[in-house]
Amino acid sequence: MRVIGITGSIATGKSTCSAILSSPPYSLPLIDADLLARKAVEPGTWGYRRIVATFGPTTPDLLLPATDAQCGGREDGPDGKGRPLNRPALGRRVFGTSEERVRDRKKLNAIVHPAVRFYIARAMLYYWLLGYWAVLADVPLLFESGLDIFCSTVVVVAVSDPKIQMQRLRERDPFLSAEDAENRVKSQVDVREKAARCESRNKANKNAGKGYVLYNDGSREDLQLQIAEVMRDIRAKSPRWWTWLLVLAPPLTAAAAAWEVLRNWYLRRQTIRERGEELGKTRM
């Protein structure tokens, strides 16, 4: 089964790309890391308790007030497991470029990422057993978290003009101030750096099909045309007989997966060495 990692930066169109690929005519199963991250910090979970313990004492508005509709008017939340997290407040605490915010963001990632990795692995196993030829993994921090080594192919959705990114973010999240929007963009690795890293996956073989960059500066129709071209290329490199052979021969699947991860790990290390400190900063 081919694992197609979809990534980008905030407001570049990554979710739009995933929505197109998970709908006809492609209809690929989608593993959304953002949704899994929300699941990992729902009230009552281990992640929720760790976040409250870590940030609660210094973030008075970390939890939604009891008067919020999501809390049902209860101090202990609608189901007695605690009030939901106030995501805008948590975002203000961890997004930014100051030393304190970078440190807090790493603490948050250390809590959320392990749970998300477990959910992703479980979902991949499920879709492999169902015989799908490919699965989409929509992961905003694909390179930063190191999950790119588990992907057969990586697709980066980028924009060439940073102003487009800022404009889309403000339109999507009108509650953000200009400063908040800028902090969120700067808290992530520049999308053009991600594009360069994605393209480096094809360095050994330009026709390997291991990395594609979609520049989403235009309309949805423009993006759809790019997606169609990329999917034709990926499909040509994933014959149906190989998919079913992997399903019917688990030892071969394990060997092929191990080789894929090892090769991607080597490419990752090589890229970090060649691109130097700038790329090294993405390792969190």
* Domains by residue range for the chain, with CATH: 1-29+133-284 (3.40.50.300), 42-131 (no CATH)
CB 85 within 8 A of CB 62: yes
Bond preceding residue 25 cis, omega within 30 of 0: yes
The model's confidence at residue 205, banded by pLDDT at 50, 70 and 90, is: low
- C-alpha pair distances (Å), 259 with each of 64, 93, 206, 227: 46, 40, 19, 27
Residue 247 has pLDDT above 50, yes or no: yes
For 31-42, what is the mean pLDDT?
Answer: 93
Rounded Cα–Cα distance for residues 108 and 160 (Å): 30
More confident residue, 119 or 275: 119
276: which residues sit within 8 A by CB, 6+ positions away? Answer: none
The model's confidence at residue 178, banded by pLDDT at 50, 70 and 90, is: confident
Residue 212 has pLDDT above 80, yes or no: yes
For 69-88, what is the mean pLDDT?
Answer: 89
